[in-house]
Amino acid sequence: MRIYSRILGTGSYLPAKRMTNADLAAELAQQGVETSDNWIVERTGIRARHFAADEQGCSDLATEASRRALDAAGLAAQDIDLIIVGTSTPDMVFPSVATMVQHKLGAAGCPAFDVQAVCSGFIYALTIADAMIQTGSSKRALVIGAEVFSRILDFKDRTTCVLFGDGAGAVVLEASDTPGILATDLHADGKYKDILCVPGHVNRGGILGDPVLKMDGQAVFKLAVGVLEETARASLAKANLTDADIDWLIPHQANIRIMQSTAKKLKMPADKVVVTVDQHGNTSAASIPLALDTAVRDGRIQRGQTLMLEGVGGGFTWGSVLLRY
């Protein structure tokens, strides 16, 4: 009999500091950088984002989201036998955020590691956890997407700094004989490295290269819309389902126009797409579990419904997870 992984509980965390577009525009203006609420809303759909406090690291956000997911699942940290974190903004070069979360939750012993697939990080992490549950090596996994992108933004570059925010989302997965995750689909193509990257890195005690986010927005836009449709269709085909079977589309929250274009290609009406980009901005690997938790907690997503989660990010990486909630 096939073993499935089912979502037992979800949780998320946003840092307290909320910046509306007007707040950000006022702050940027002091540095001579001009932007406006109008421009940001029109091109991206973003109205506000949250930024972590100076003393908060990625692992702090991830730990809070995990506590909430464990509470929702009715479990303690000691019940978990696997922790995977999708992130590109870890507290340190090493050790991983996952081991820090494990310790902060008061647990020890189970495997814990990070996955680096940028905005597809949560989709990658969920797929790996699902595979480990299917092989029997894990029974209850904590899967997290957590980011502090504010640490890698260039606040003099208005084409990128208005797009991103900080946050974390988590799910508890459990082995089950009923679905569960129905299909997963992952891809990457390294030739697109330069259209979205943070080229700087630690080298001999200093930073070599520019350690802030660089993006060719139009190239990213075109690529994202195409691959998101392909991966959604691939997961549907693997599960012998069609787009008509999807109750909720939960895409990576980068930009409302990318999400609308993808939804149109999948013939999903706008009210079946979970949108949080307006309030969270783009939180990279955290965006999908944040959106999922938001729609679970406000009662839109119900048990037994079919969800399509899909992400795309630097690398380029992309993928989807089709599941019965």
Binding site for ligand ACO (CB under 6 A): 35, 39-40, 43-44, 119, 158-159, 162-163, 196, 215, 217-218, 220-221, 224, 252, 254-255, 257-258, 282, 312-313
Helix or strand holding residue 170 (H, E): strand 166-176
Are 215 and 276 contacting, i.e. CB atoms less than 8 angstroms apart? no
Count the alpha carbons within 13 Å of 138 in the hemisphere toward its beta carbon: 28
Helix or strand holding residue 140 (H, E): strand 140-148
203 flagged as catalytic = no
Indicate the residue among 27 and 71 with the shorter CB distance to ligand ACO: 27
Give phi and psi for 233, each to the nearest 5: -65, -35
Q: Smallest distance from the beta carbon of 239 to ligand ACO, in angstroms? A: 24
Indicate the residue among 78 and 159 with the shorter CB distance to ligand ACO: 159
- Give SS3 for 90: coil
- Number of helices (H), then strands (E), belonging to the chain: the values are 10, 15
The residue whose Cβ lies closest to ligand ACO is: 217
In whole angstroms, give the CA distance from residue 220 to residue 201: 23
Radius of gyration of the chain (CA): 19
**DSSP assignment, residue 273?**
B
Q: Smallest distance from the beta carbon of 7 to ligand ACO, in angstroms? A: 23
**DSSP assignment, residue 95?**
S
Choice among 21, 119, 255, 280 that is catalytic: 119
Q: Smallest distance from the beta carbon of 82 to ligand ACO, in angstroms? A: 26
Q: Smallest distance from the beta carbon of 220 to ligand ACO, in angstroms? A: 4
The amino acid present at 127, given as its one-letter code, is T
Indicate the residue among 137 and 159 with the shorter CB distance to ligand ACO: 159
Are 79 and 194 contacting, i.e. CB atoms less than 8 angstroms apart? no
103 flagged as catalytic = no
Q: Smallest distance from the beta carbon of 135 to ligand ACO, in angstroms? A: 30
Choice among 58, 252, 255, 280 that is catalytic: 252
C-alpha 294: how far from chain center:
13
Indicate the residue among 110 and 308 with the shorter CB distance to ligand ACO: 308
Q: What are the strands, taking DSSP E only, across 21-138?
A: 48-51, 82-86, 112-115
Q: Smallest distance from the beta carbon of 145 to ligand ACO, in angstroms? A: 12
Indicate the residue among 238 and 257 with the shorter CB distance to ligand ACO: 257
Indicate the residue among 181 and 220 with the shorter CB distance to ligand ACO: 220
62: exposed, middle or buried (Cβ count in 10 Å: 0-12, 13-18, 19+): buried
In whole angstroms, give the CA distance from residue 173 to residue 170: 10
User: Tokens 């990128």 identify what position?
Assistant: 160
Active site residues: 119, 252, 282
